[in-house]
Amino acid sequence: MKIYHLSHTDLDGYACQYIVNFYFKNVNFYNSNYGKEINDNFNNIIKDIQENMGENEKILLLITDLNLTLSQCKEFDEVCKEKDIKILLLDHHQSGLECMQKYSWYFLDNSRCAAKIVYDFFSKICFNDEKMKDFINIVNAVDIWLNKDKDFELGKVCLGLIANAKEINRVMFKKEHISYMFYLLDRAKTFIQKERSHILLDNALHFIKKDYFIKDNDDTLANLISKFIVEKLQDHKEEFTIFYENHKGLLTSNIGNTSIIGNEFLINNPDYDFFLDVSSKKTLSIRANGSLDVSLMAKKLVGGGGHKNASGGLFASFKDSTNYNYIKAQFIDLIKSKEIKKEENAQK
């Protein structure tokens, strides 16, 4: 059976996936906040299933730590029945009560965090693991706020660890992002049962992250992360490539540190003329290597501007998404619309 697992973007949500990854290996992981993002991820999952499903392969769509609306439940139920996909939701948010009462695949228990529900469910099917159980008790203590529990303080540090783990973009590098989250949870788990474990883990966070990103020579954490991201961009550059007026560029989304990462990528890839990042706030940040005046590019595309090699602007009609292909399609449409307008003006 192939599992497609959609979960929340906090400690509890990633812990759910950490458990599933412990018990099963044939799993694709997706992460979402609430609202429209859940629908976007669901559509991505269905698309991935259709493109990769083997003959007679059984599919389970597992949703954890996310409560759905009735309209979402209706849509998901209909699509999964039509495509013969089993669906199971394990959650603890009381706001999903009406959905649970209507759909048999919707399980709700507000006395436990979602990760504890997931662990209890799969440990009964597979086997019990005491170390995993201890870790899940820590997640449970902080997620449902048992502030008198002995595991609460360590849980708080773990909560911050995941909340601040923004080093690897989850839209651009889905597999690398989830691998990093599992690594952080692996390392956090080693502090269980140690005296003053919460303080020890808090003191170690910087070095835990450095251990993940360092390869050869030591450097600042920021430099190690930038080097890692540039390498991953190079690995995926064909997917992220766009063209503007016969100039070749790379399009990223919420990559961060655009000046450092963009310039380093352009130095390492001289066949690329520009590097463009679009943020959730609709802002564009463009860098170039001297072969393209990106201040003119920003002006033509969005009425922006700046310097020849460093410019930006506001892409007012941009709609953020967890689907990179949708983000890329919007920018390609923007470029095409300006090219069409330019041709129309030339004909007048």
Question: Pick from 168, 183, 213: which residue ends a domain?
Answer: 213
**Residues 238, 196 within the same domain:** no
CA angle 202, 208, 211 (to 5 degrees): 165
Q: What is the DSSP string of 203-229?
A: HHHHHHHHHHH-SSS---HHHHHHHHH
| Cβ(236)–Cβ(230) below 8 Å | no
- Helical axes 11-23 vs 174-189, angle rounded to 10°: 90
**Residues 46, 145 within the same domain:** yes
Which residues of the chain fall short of a pLDDT of 50? none
In a domain, 221, yes or no: no
In a domain, 21, yes or no: yes
| Cβ(37)–Cβ(322) below 8 Å | yes
Report the alpha-carbon distance of residue 335 to residue 342 in Å, rounded.
11
Neighbours of 280 (CB within 10 A): 11
What DSSP element (H or E) covers 187?
helix 174-189
**Residues 186, 47 within the same domain:** yes
**Residues 93, 192 within the same domain:** yes
**Residues 281, 197 within the same domain:** no
Q: Which of 188, 163, 166, 185 is nearest to 177 (CA)?
A: 166
pLDDT at 52: 87
pLDDT at 63: 98
pLDDT at 179: 97
CATH number for the domain including 258? Answer: 3.10.310
CATH number for the domain including 169? Answer: 3.90.1640
In a domain, 251, yes or no: yes
**Residues 140, 60 within the same domain:** yes
| Cβ(87)–Cβ(59) below 8 Å | no
pLDDT at 195: 95
As for how many domains the chain has, the answer is 2
Full residue range of the structural domain in which residue 99 is found: 2-213
Question: Pick from 213, 247, 276: which residue ends a domain?
Answer: 213
Report the alpha-carbon distance of residue 212 to residue 204 in Å, rounded.
13
Q: Is the dihedral of CA 166, 172, 174, 176 positive or negative?
A: negative
In a domain, 227, yes or no: no
pLDDT at 148: 95
**Residues 21, 159 within the same domain:** yes
In a domain, 222, yes or no: no
Give pLDDT tens digits for 154-178. 999 999 999 999 999 999 999 999 9
Q: How many residues does the chain have?
A: 348
In a domain, 293, yes or no: yes
Q: Residue 248 contacts by C-beta under 8 Å, 6 or more apart in sequence?
A: 241, 242, 271, 272, 273, 274
**Residues 144, 16 within the same domain:** yes
Q: Which of 201, 185, 204 is nearest to 193 (CA)?
A: 201
Q: Is the dihedral of CA 176, 182, 185, 186 positive or negative?
A: negative
pLDDT at 346: 65
Q: What is the DSSP string of 76-109?
A: HHHHHHHTT-EEEEEE--GGGHHHHHH-TTEEE-
What phi, psi does 253 have (nearest 5°)?
-130, 120
In a domain, 302, yes or no: yes
Report the alpha-carbon distance of residue 255 to residue 249 in Å, rounded.
15
Which strands make up the sheet holding 2-7, listed edge to edge?
27-31, 2-7, 59-64, 86-91, 106-108
**Residues 197, 287 within the same domain:** no
Side-chain half-sphere exposure of 284, counting CA atoms within 13 A = 34
**Residues 255, 201 within the same domain:** no
**Residues 342, 304 within the same domain:** yes
pLDDT at 344: 63
DSSP 90: E
**Residues 88, 17 within the same domain:** yes
Question: Pick from 159, 181, 213: which residue ends a domain?
Answer: 213
In a domain, 239, yes or no: yes
CA angle 299, 300, 306 (to 5 degrees): 20
